[in-house]
A and B are shown apart, each in its own frame.
Chain A
Amino acid sequence: MKSNLVDGVVKYVALPMVGAGCVVLLWAVASSSFATSLPSPLKTWEVSRPYIVEPFEKRGELDQGILRFTWYSLIRVAKGYTLAILLGTPLGLLLGMSKGFTNTFDPIIQVLRPVSPLAWLPLGLVLFQESEPAGIFTIAMCSMWPTVMNTALGVRSIPQDYINVARVLKLSAWKTLVKVTIPAALPYMFTGFRLSLGIAWLVIVAAEMLTGAPGVGGFLWQEYNALIYEHIILCILTIGIVGFLLDRVMGVVERRFKAA
């Protein structure tokens, strides 16, 4: 029991801190030797301090506490991600259920799937004339594909037995979908949802950088232009930590569904 606790502390606390320490050390060495314009860890902390200790402070449109910026970004991601799920899930179900639909639409999906957010955003701006909907459009267009592909895979992987049960009972198409297809494909769908959320969070930074919207990405780009490089590092760390936490939360939800 006791050795389990020690093992856990070593595995999940001590070793990760050693890893992070190594990176900080490398960073410090780099900033004091060859990469002279890279702010040192200590300097980064000093300059970032007001943004961290007063995380919800609003001093100006693009001068706000880091969690306040994060909150703006999360709201934007939530909108785009919701749209992605609402579009991606039915699309995936159709792909999984109909061979004809797959033959018709799979090629164009495979062409659109690898398109970068940097390419979608200008199109969004042209379409909507405004940065906010353009950003949401970009997030949705980039992040829906894992949901589409995994939902389709989940539907295709439903055991023939379950389908036979539905056929013998003569369940209607709708009932088969609700009572058999979706519950059977749900574990796959959640994998898709998790991957989609990861991409949505990746895309938000690009979208905000290009539109200058207030958020973590917008702040990062502004501070680059203002030559406050310490804040770039603060933003990178924030983006990473938030992305990590989002993935963990979705991972827990996903496991819950897989176990059920």
Chain B
Amino acid sequence: MAFIELSGVCKGYGSADKRTPVLEDVNLSIEKGELVSIVGYSGAGKTTLVSLLAGLIKPDRGTVKVDGKIVTGPGPERGVVFQNYSLLPWLSVLENVQLAVDQVFPKRSASERRSHAMKFVEMVNLGPAAGKRPRELSGGMRQRVSVARALAIEPEVLLLDEPFGALDALTRGVLQGELQRISQESGKTMLLITNDVDEGILLSDRIIPLGAGPSASLGPATTVDIERPRDRKELNHDPRFRHIRLSVLEYLLESGKAKRAERAAQDVTEAKAPLPETKSQAATSKPVQIVELSP
């Protein structure tokens, strides 16, 4: 049995008569030690998926199992790196990490916990900034703290919710490299949520597209059989990489087109003025651009 198992998971928001379905019949299994990426549109329900796994919200239908046990609530065995860092602004870098360490390892001595926290701060190359407050740090540094905090509690699973989404391309590249190194060193089970197909392929063992919302569900998984460590520059010329990227993008574009057609048909039957297309266009424009950029 897989380490993480989602079966028939549905989740929507709002009351019964005004319910907006977000995820519909999501099935996913992740083996221990595997790094799986889920790539999808903005607003397709990626954060909802992470929240379900973290136990912050409960599915309407279906089950979420980690290590054979049904997830009933959040817990430190599932570390989360939140999209917007979620650092406590009144604590320093080290204190943010230490808050987590103190909570999860109460039996260790104070000095042990401190050096443990410091080890993870150093692992993300923030040793010199350990005493700084989050507001004194750049976005990339903040996200590193968030990664250090999530790893310091030695979780069985690391859930990363668009961890590099708010960063510039260069910082993104650096942090992707660091995550690759950390993932290889620790061998942790990780689920990476991203809107960047290249990032997904670069980092993961398997990549799965999440179709367009509403009622998004997962597409076919593609195994990334490219040896590690992977280099971003070399990857661009690798035919396997290009093949995987194309197939994932095609799935996403098709699903976006289908959803739009569905919505348009619905609008006609409901005899309403057609909805402005801005939102779905904005959602599709990103992958399209990537296709044009490909060599």
Contacts and interface: CB of A to CB of B under 8 A. Distances in A.
A170 B88 contact: no
B54 A168 contact: yes
A25 interface: no
Interface string A191-208: 000000000000000000
Contact of B76 (A170, A175, A183, A260): A170
Nearest to A169: B103
Given A170-B74, A170-B75, A165 B86 contact: yes
Contact of A164 (B56, B76, B100): B56
Contact of B86 (A164, A171, A175, A183): A164
A167 interface: yes
B contacts with A: majority SS: loop
A161 interface: yes
Contacts of A11: none
B84 interface: yes
Interface residues of B, number: 19
Contacts of A162: 86, 88
A260 B90 contact: yes
Contacts of B78: 168
Interface in B52-108: 54, 56, 73-76, 78-80, 82, 84, 86, 88, 90, 99-100, 103-104
Contacts of B90: 183-184, 186, 260
B52 to A, nearest CB: 13
B99 A161 contact: no
A83 interface: no
Interface in A156-195: 161-162, 164-165, 167-171, 175, 179-180, 183-184, 186
Contacts of A169: 76, 99-100, 103-104, 153
A168 B84 contact: no
B88 A168 contact: no
Nearest to A179: B99
A205 B100 CA distance: 50
A260 B88 CA distance: 12
Contacts of A168: 54, 56, 74-76, 78-80
Nearest to A260: B90
Contacts of A175: 103
Contacts of A184: 88, 90
A184 to B, nearest CB: 8
Interface in B128-157: 153
B100 A183 contact: no
A27 to B, nearest CB: 49
Contacts of A170: 74-76, 103
B84 A161 contact: yes
Nearest to A183: B90
Contacts of B104: 169
Given A161-B82, A164-B82, A171 B103 contact: yes
- Of the candidates B82, B100, B103, the one having the most CB atoms from chain A within 10 angstroms of its own CB is B103
A165 B95 CA distance: 14
5 contacts: A168-B74, A169-B104, A179-B99, A183-B88, A183-B90
Given A161-B86, A168-B79, A169-B76, 7 more contacts: A164-B80, A164-B86, A165-B82, A168-B56, A168-B78, A179-B88, A184-B88
